[in-house]
């Protein structure tokens, strides 16, 4: 908590003279993020998609995805683009970060949420963490570590490095996992990378299903997705959605995940 306080203090000392948004970094000490509010927003606080980029990505590059920007804006939501501490997210078992517990990134995400809510009209009760590839791996770690901070999670083409953790924070949150059946970059069963390896999606889903007491609850189709749905007694959802493609991302997948969380009463 002391690190978060320091980051927020530094941010307060640098603004409001240094305005930030989709084209300018919002500084948090030596870290930053970017944010795009929904076009024409004039009312009260809005929900947000907190997005984690892929390997060697950036917050600036996320904001350059006009399809993503337009879709999130049309949903009446803010888009908050995170930036990893390194080329990749510093999370457990990641390459070159094998000994990390992920805390540097988790503290950063907490600070981003608090700072964004201070600067902009953000409804912190209506946040969905989402990410693609390495960003999807970050999302799984957020779901395990700080499930109470988000209404739900959408992980696309990425899960834990190496293996699921032995324990996760409870209660379990709602999570939608989307993956291509022919993904060669992050296969469903993972593959070796340097001194580590990508995790197995099935193992992660099994772990989270047991953690949250999820049970089968039918199937859903959307565009090219075929989903196996699970719910638990508290109404949370755990969806596993496959498409026949490879390592690919569609902005509409995030709308689908948001709609699934909303239908379950999580948003």
Q: Give the model's pLDDT for residue 18.
A: 54
What would the mean pLDDT of 30-38 be, rounded to a whole number? 97
Query: Considering Cα of 250, then 114, then 116, then 235, what sign does the dihedral take?
Result: positive
Please report, for residues 16, 148, 158, 206, the alpha-carbon distance to residue 52 in angstroms, rounded to integers and kept in the order given. Answer: 25, 18, 11, 24
Cβ proximity of 179 and 155 under 8 Å: no
Q: Residue 60: enclosing H or E segment and its boundaries?
A: helix 59-63
Ordered alpha helix ranges (H), 122-178: 134-145
pLDDT at residue 193, rounded to an integer = 95
CA distances from 176 to 13, 187, 214, 244 (A): 38, 17, 13, 17
Please say if the pLDDT value at position 236 is more than 70: yes
CB 60 within 8 A of CB 34: yes
The two tokens of residue 258 are 């948001």
Contact 151, 128 (CB under 8 A): yes
d(CA 153, CA 142) in angstroms, rounded, equals 8
Express each pLDDT in 99-158 by its tens digit: 999 999 999 999 999 999 999 999 999 999 999 999 999 999 999 999 999 999 999 999
Q: Mean pLDDT across the stretch 212-221?
A: 96
Look at residue 78 and give its three-state secondary structure: strand
User: How many CB atoms sit inside 10 A of residue 197's CB?
Assistant: 16
- The SS3 call for residue 233 is coil
Is residue 20 pLDDT above 60, yes or no? yes
Asked if residue 240 has pLDDT above 50, the reply is yes
Mean pLDDT, rounded, for 45-55? 97
Asked if 237 contacts 229 with a C-beta cutoff of 8 angstroms, the reply is yes
pLDDT tens per residue across span 166-214: 999 999 999 999 999 999 999 999 999 999 999 999 999 999 999 999 9
What's the token pair of residue 101? Answer: 């517990």
What residues contact residue 103 under an 8 Å CB cut-off, 6+ apart? none
Classify residue 260 as exposed, middle or buried by CB count within 10 Å of its CB (0-12, 13-18, 19+): buried
The domain limits of the chain are: 2-263
Q: What is the pLDDT of residues 63-84, one digit of tens each?
A: 999 999 999 999 999 999 999 9
CA dihedral in degrees (65, 67, 68, 71; nearest 10)? 160
Superfamily of structural domain 2-263 = Alpha/Beta hydrolase fold, catalytic domain (3.40.50.1820)
């Amino acid at each position: 908590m002391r690190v978060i306080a320091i980051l927020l203090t530094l941010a307060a000392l640098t603004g409001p003279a240094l305005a930030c948004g989709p084209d300018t970094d919002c500084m948090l000490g030596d870290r930053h993020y970017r944010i795009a509010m929904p076009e024409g927003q004039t009312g009260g606080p809005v929900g947000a998609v907190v997005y984690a980029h892929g390997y060697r990505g950036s917050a600036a590059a996320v904001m350059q995805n006009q399809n993503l920007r337009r879709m999130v804006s049309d949903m009446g939501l803010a888009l908050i683009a995170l930036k990893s501490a390194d080329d990749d997210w510093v999370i457990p078992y990641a390459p070159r970060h094998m000994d990390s517990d992920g805390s540097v990134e988790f503290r950063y995400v907490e600070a981003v949420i608090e700072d964004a809510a201070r600067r902009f009209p953000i409804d912190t009760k209506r946040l969905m963490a989402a990410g693609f590839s390495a960003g999807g791996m970050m999302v799984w770690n957020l779901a395990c570590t700080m499930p109470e901070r988000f209404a739900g999670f959408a992980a696309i083409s990425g899960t834990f490095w190496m293996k699921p953790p032995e324990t996760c924070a409870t209660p379990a949150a709602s999570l939608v996992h989307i993956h291509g059946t022919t993904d060669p970059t992050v296969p469903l069963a993972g593959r070796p990378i340097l001194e580590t390896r990508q995790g197995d999606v099935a193992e992660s889903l099994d772990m989270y299903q047991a953690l949250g007491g999820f049970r089968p609850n039918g199937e859903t189709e959307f565009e090219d997705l075929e989903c196996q749905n699970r719910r638990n007694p508290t109404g949370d959802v755990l969806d596993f959605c496959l498409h026949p493609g490879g390592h690919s991302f569609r902005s509409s997948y995030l709308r689908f995940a948001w709609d699934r969380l909303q239908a379950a009463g999580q948003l």
